[in-house]
Amino acid sequence: MKLGVVGLPNVGKSTLFNAITGAGAEAANYPFCTIDPNVGIVEVPDVRLSVLGEMYKTKKIVPAAIEFVDIAGLVKGASKGEGLGNKFLSHIREVDAIVHTVRCFEDTNIIHVGGKINPLDDIETINLELILADLNLVASRFDKVSKGIKTGDKKFIAEAELLQKIKAALEQSKPARSVIVSEEEKETARSFFLLTTKPVIYAANIAESDIGKPHNDYVKAVMSKAKEEGAEVIVLCAKIEEEISQLPKEDRQMFLEDLGLTESGLNVLVKSCYKLLGLISYLTAGVPEVRAWTIKSGTKAPQAAGKIHTDFEKGFIRAEVVHYDDLVALGGIVQAKEKGKVRSEGKEYVVNSGDVVLFRFNV
């Protein structure tokens, strides 16, 4: 899963990105992640892992992780190729969701590209570029579909209708996601590769001095905008997040407590992204390793097994499953087995968050 960090220049993207890369996920544990200076891997905090770690006296704990991509350079005119324009838009195309960073701090030393702090203008500037890029896509898709309709293929009629609906929304400065409602429409729209279908989280970047205070007017403005769009808002101070990420892990909690916080903004952001994307974790536990694996909610056992290794999916026989809550309540796998809490599940089993799973497979 990849999240793209976007925002106008000087809003604190690089600072947030430094916090992300500094947070300290061990890249070696995540061979499927991209190695690239613009990609940062962040662990998904999960207290269940340390509890299982104790239970299994494990040597290694590997949390789930998500990737963040720094998509700098999105400026006014990007959809027309200005700045690094199209290149950046193509990077956004590859991500599963967008973290839109918005400047909600004042600092006279740091120039704002628009001349003054105005989160709504900033949001609109970026959104407009995404909308314009999508309008271009919709137009070229429409040409193709029109040709298809002439061949009499019904499939193209539904596509054309959806494209019309999306175009109308975009022309009113609304994102495509606001009009793609049914599962069928979502399925059809998937092949359009639009930017404004991607879910968005706004990261409202506040000043250090605003931490723990009631939301300032900039943040309130972002919140009302997000509400209108059905998007989420995370309030954080990128500068503090960067500082936290540079502290040794054992000192981070105390630093947060001194600020009156229980959790870092980055943790909150990661958890929200997980939720936004409909992701859950199932767990594997043993002496060598206790680990969380990311799946989409609704994933069946063989595909969940495939996250560990493709052979697990291909040769899937069954899954032995005990829920984390039962395992912890009963004090261990032996007791859970005795109480009949370890179930044998087949190919149709939908894996739950917190299932502790052992896959049986043929090689």
Binding site for ligand GDP (CB under 6 A): 7, 9-15, 105, 107, 110, 205, 207-208, 237-239
Residue 252's φ and ψ, nearest 5 degrees, are: -65, -40
Q: List Cβ neighbours of 301 (8 Å cut-off, separation of 6 or more).
A: 316, 318, 319, 345, 346, 347, 348, 349, 350, 351, 357, 359
Q: What is the C-alpha separation between 141 and 16, in angstroms, rounded?
A: 36
For ligand GDP, the closer CB: 101 or 299: 101
Q: Smallest distance, Å, CB 97 to ligand GDP?
A: 19
Hey, which residues does 168 pair with through a beta bridge? none
**CA angle in degrees (0–180, nearest 5) for 24-48-51:** 100
Q: What is the C-alpha separation between 118 and 122, in angstroms, rounded?
A: 6
**CA angle in degrees (0–180, nearest 5) for 260-274-138:** 125
Q: Smallest distance, Å, CB 217 to ligand GDP?
A: 16
Q: Smallest distance, Å, CB 274 to ligand GDP?
A: 24
Half-sphere exposure of 341 (CA within 13 A, CB side): 19
For ligand GDP, the closer CB: 61 or 237: 237
For ligand GDP, the closer CB: 237 or 301: 237
Q: What is the C-alpha separation between 45 and 53, in angstroms, rounded?
A: 14
Q: What is the C-alpha separation between 249 and 271, in angstroms, rounded?
A: 19
- Nearest Cα residue to 44 out of 353, 319, 299: 353
Q: Smallest distance, Å, CB 103 to ligand GDP?
A: 8
| Orientation of helix 265-276 relative to helix 238-246, angle to 10° | 110
Residue 243 DSSP SS3: helix
Q: Smallest distance, Å, CB 53 to ligand GDP?
A: 34
For ligand GDP, the closer CB: 84 or 308: 84
For ligand GDP, the closer CB: 141 or 239: 239
Q: Smallest distance, Å, CB 65 to ligand GDP?
A: 23
Q: Smallest distance, Å, CB 218 to ligand GDP?
A: 12
Sign of the Cα pseudo-torsion (219, 111, 71, 139, in order)? positive
For ligand GDP, the closer CB: 241 or 326: 241
For ligand GDP, the closer CB: 102 or 357: 102
Hey, which residues does 322 pair with through a beta bridge? 356
Q: Smallest distance, Å, CB 263 to ligand GDP?
A: 17
**CA angle in degrees (0–180, nearest 5) for 69-71-73:** 165
For ligand GDP, the closer CB: 113 or 158: 113
Give the neighbor-by-neighbor strand order of the sheet with 200-205: 39-43, 65-70, 2-6, 97-103, 200-205, 232-236
For ligand GDP, the closer CB: 217 or 311: 217
Q: Smallest distance, Å, CB 101 to ligand GDP?
A: 6
